[in-house]
Amino acid sequence: MSILPRLACLALLSCCAPLQAVEIDGRIDPDEWAGARHVTDFRQTQPLTGQPGSLQTEAWVLATPDGLAVAFRNVQPPSVPRSRQKLQRDFDEQVDRVNVFMDFDGDGRTGYAFTVSASGGIADEIITNENQFNSDWDGQWRHAVSEDDAGWSVELLIPWHTAPMRDGTGGERTLKVFLARVVGATGERMAWPAASFERPRFLSEFAPIVVPQYSQSLLAITPYVSGLYDNVGGGSDFNGGVDVFWKPSGRFQLTATVNPDFGQVESDDLVVNFSATETFVSDKRPFFTENQGIFELTTPSDFSQQLYTRRVGSTGDITAAVKANGSLGRANYGVFAADEDGPTGRGYQAVRLVRDFESQNLGAMLTRVDDPWRDREAMVVGVDHNWRPTARWNVRSRLLGSRIDQAGDQVQDMGATVWADYEMDNGWRQQWIAMHFGNHLELNDFGYLSRNSMNYLHWEVRRRFTDFADDARYSSVDWRWRATTNHNNRGDKLNDQFRMSRQGRLRNGGSEYAQINVNSAGIGDTLLRGNGIVRVPSSFNAMYEYERPREGDWSHHYGGEAFSGGLAGNDKIGWAGWLGATHFFSDALRVNAGVTVIQRPDWLIWQGSARPGLVGSFEGREARLRAGMEWTIDPRQELRVKLQAIGIGATAQGAWRFDPSGRAIAVDDAIEDFNVRTLGFQVRYRYELAPLSYLYVVYARGGYDRTETSDGVDDALFDSFRLRNDEQLMVKLSYRFEI
């Protein structure tokens, strides 16, 4: 008798499994999975048709004292290509894979995503705000894969110490789960239940399961040592510290770090930013990614959030930091504190409390930054409310207030946001967003706010089409139409915008996206950094991009954009184009390269605080080069090479000042041509000694240079390879001891 009929006979649909262990070896033993919840109703969620999946998929869910065990049996005949590509952790490639998403408290606030590919690659993520994924977190969990001619199988074990959990009742607790399978060759996703992260409600749509109230304690101590040699300065530096993770019970979890090492074993993408808006950068530092979800309090404004962990350590080395998460009844709490060293060092504190109700949850957070160097204290209070009144509606609201005390002066202000999503019939959806940020609302001591002084309204209508023939090019198409208006708090209209976009998912697993924005004339109030306003004419931008996952030995993507802007408005058209490809020498070794070229005919750049009302107009040309190699030597070893270079050549076209109403006045002030070149190059070897224990050997080189001359974008790009402001060799060893 084959394995599938034998396991089908075990479909008792019981979640209260006997006390037994499951050997995580990828081979589904019917005796081990006796009493498990058996799931067979996998439905298409990509495309979002709700129809049964095209390939037979079964799953088993079993609570054991060691954790929640999940098994998948994926039938895949030879007619459907099977991907065996070796992958680095937190991969995002289009390959055969399965997903287990868990909400340990079942309240729809924070979820944990665990992904295993057919080749054994893994990824893990945190889910917040219903459908926002963050891959910075790395958890400790077990997995195994096996395959045969008829298909492939996966077993996972997710320990109970992964996250703090509220107490259950009567010796049981209710979790919520989402199970999915993705077919790499077509991009089809089939899932149970039939929820989708492409819809406004995802996390709260997981299926509830009742399991015994198991609990695990864990004490993990991870010391590290590192050595760095500076080949430019000629000096050496040695460092050491320790991270501690302690979970004595299901209700409480503590994370602490002493003298953490945040050396560049991960490299940030290069950015050259001449705008007044700060670039947002994600955080991969282990202490700040461990169970950080409870501190998520975001707004619809791009990346805006009350607690932005990249602030910590930005003005001095971190001496120590501690974070506690837990629950009291149906309420969850979090406490965060960190201190920086040195004369400019700051102290950071945060307290978070959330409470879940049947169809809504309510939270509050207080953050404080003590900055003695500037004689500044910054406090922010945030309140967030998520309401699901019916199956069709999802309403999220935020209220924020800041108070800044600096050198005896006090400034305070408020902000509020609300966004509502309404799910209609036949693929139709609507969304409304309203935001108000006061002139003096200030989050950026500890958080991130792209701008204050804003009043924004937005209405969007969407329609999804999935009724395509089996031999059609597309499996689904999503259309969006959006109208927005945006004003500052002085009554100036920043702009109105109409946006239309179309996203298509192809049956070959590829995707394409097209978008056009039409912008009205308006006021620019950030270009002069508080020294006046600028009247800007109407403008537009239109773009298209296509991505094709691996086919044979190649995958590729390309796209282009046309846009207008500056003071020329639609009289001058700029453009951008990009192309990238990956070649697979084998399933374990691949190289990639890509280039982006941008032409800006009327690029407005502020000329600095020495000439605060002056703006230069430039004809700007930019070229970006990206290349790399990824070699998965074996399941424990990987070698990665990453190269990024940017070259910019800008030729001055004129100088402008502005009258009090924002009208441009041509002036004869000297404006210089300039070149910018920047380089980032890293070679990183990683060896996994044990789970979450690593040896890193990293060579990094890079630099930045700006010259007041324009030799052309080609010279700037190729000259970047000679940059050597920094050149370092670092070795880091960390080992996790569990008690």
What does the H/E/C string look like for 599-626?
A: EEEEEEEECCCCCCCCEEEEEEEEEEEE
**What is the per-residue pLDDT across 10-49, written as a single tens digit (0 to 9) for each?**
333 333 434 457 999 999 999 999 999 999 999 999 999 9
- In this prediction, residues 635-651 reach a mean pLDDT of 95
Going by pLDDT thresholds of 50, 70 and 90, the confidence category of residue 619 is very high
- The residue whose two tokens read 């699901």 is 388
Place of tokens 């459907």: 80
8 Å CB contact between 578 and 547: no
Q: How confident is the model at residue 263 (pLDDT cuts 50, 70, 90)?
A: low
Q: How confident is the model at residue 129 (pLDDT cuts 50, 70, 90)?
A: confident
- pLDDT at residue 637 greater than cutoff 90: yes
Which pLDDT value is given to residue 12? 34
Query: Percent of the chain beyond pLDDT 90?
Result: 82
* Tokens of residue 167, six digits: 């107490």
Assign 472 a pLDDT band (cuts: 50, 70, 90). very high
Average pLDDT, stretch 115-140?
91
Q: What is the mean pLDDT of residues 279-306?
A: 88
CB 7, CB 19: distance < 8 Å: no
Distances (CA, A) of 506 to 424, 501, 516: 24, 16, 21
What pLDDT is attached to residue 137? 86
More confident residue, 241 or 261: 241
**What structural domains and CATH numbers belong to the chain?**
3-214 (2.60.40.1190), 241-262+278-426+440-450 (no CATH)
Strands 534-536 and 37-39: unpaired
Cβ-contact 723, 690 below 8 angstroms:
no
Q: How far apart are CA 488 and CA 486, in angstroms?
A: 7
49 vs 45: CA distance, rounded Å: 6
358 versus 400: which is more confidently predicted? 400
Side-chain-side CA neighbours of residue 6 (13 Å) = 11
Mean of pLDDT values over 81-97: 92
Looking at the predicted structure, is the pLDDT value of residue 3 above 50?
Answer: no
Average pLDDT over residues 595-602: 97
DSSP, collapsed to helix, strand or coil, labels residue 298 as strand
pLDDT at position 735 over 60: yes
User: What φ, ψ does residue 28 adopt, rounded to 5°?
Assistant: -80, 105
Query: Which percentage of the chain shows pLDDT scores above 70?
Result: 97
- 300-325 per-position pLDDT tens digit: 998 999 999 999 998 888 999 999 99
- What's the token pair of residue 369? 């930054």
Tell me the pLDDT band of 251, cut-offs 50, 70 and 90. confident
pLDDT at position 9 is 37
Cis before 193 (ω within 30) = yes
Q: How far is CA 311 from CA 177, 288, 345, 374, 458, in A?
A: 34, 11, 11, 16, 30
pTM of the entire predicted model: 0.90
pLDDT band at 264 (very low <50, low <70, confident <90, very high): low
pLDDT of res. 15: 39
pLDDT the model gives residue 529? 94
Residue 299: per-residue pLDDT: 93
User: What pLDDT does 739 receive?
Assistant: 85
Segment 130-144 mean pLDDT: 90
Averaged confidence pLDDT in the chain: 92
Q: What angle do CA 616, 621, 623 make, to 5 degrees?
A: 140
Report cis status (omega within 30 of 0) of the bond before 47: yes
Burial (0-12, 13-18, 19+ Cβ within 10 Å), 354: buried
Tokens of 268: 């940030």
483-511 pLDDT tens trace: 999 999 999 999 999 999 999 999 999 99
Distance of CA 477 to the CA centre of its chain: 24
